[in-house]
Amino acid sequence: MKKTIEQRFWEKVGPHDDPTKCWIWLGASHKQTTLSYGELRVGDKVMLAHRLSYEMYHHVTIPKGMTIDHVKARGCTSTLCVNPHHLEVVTQKVNVLRGNAPSALNAKKTHCSQGHPYNTENTYVWHGERYCRVCHKEQQQKTIQEDLLQEPSPGTFPLMRILLP
């Protein structure tokens, strides 16, 4: 007798009696960048084990364009975890921002490196990156002062020195 998908799935999961702990996938896995994800062949398709776990437990299909987050706040410590209590359907953006990648770490910053707040009055965005207006203004003033203190190159006429007292 042929095993069901659920039977094949559960025989590849480590201890799974405690809903607060990670249930580690023991079957096949593949590595994406530095993270490993479990996978199971279903017909002619290979499915990610954590997505299959979520869909089987909640009796839903994960909407197109959505991803599954292993939620650290729920105790999840591994991308090989298939505990549906640790998993949540989110957008890719939310998933990335919850992580520890450089983009997530920068998005979580509330102040620039000099301690000025990133708020609507003091922040501007250029080419998708946030910048501090106070720091930018201070850098501009420093550059102008350095330019004024420099001796003009031979054959150039320092117009700014005429205009400034």
Q: How confident is the model at residue 77 (pLDDT cuts 50, 70, 90)?
A: confident
Q: What number of residues does the chain have?
A: 165
3-state class of 88 per DSSP? strand
Per residue in 33-63, pLDDT (tens digit) is: 678 999 999 999 999 999 999 999 999 999 9
Mean pLDDT, the chain, rounded, equals 88
Q: Where are the domains of the chain?
A: 1-98, 109-149
Which of 71, 109, 82, 101 lies closest to 23, judged by CA? Answer: 82
Q: Choose which CATH entry (1.10.1760, 3.90.75, 1.20.120, 1.10.4160) describes domain 1-98.
A: 3.90.75
Phi, psi of 105 (to 5 degrees): -65, -40
Phi, psi of 79 (to 5 degrees): -75, -10
What pTM, to 2 d.p., does this model score?
0.67
Q: Which residue has the tokens 């490196």?
A: 113
CA atoms within 13 A on the CB side of 117: 3
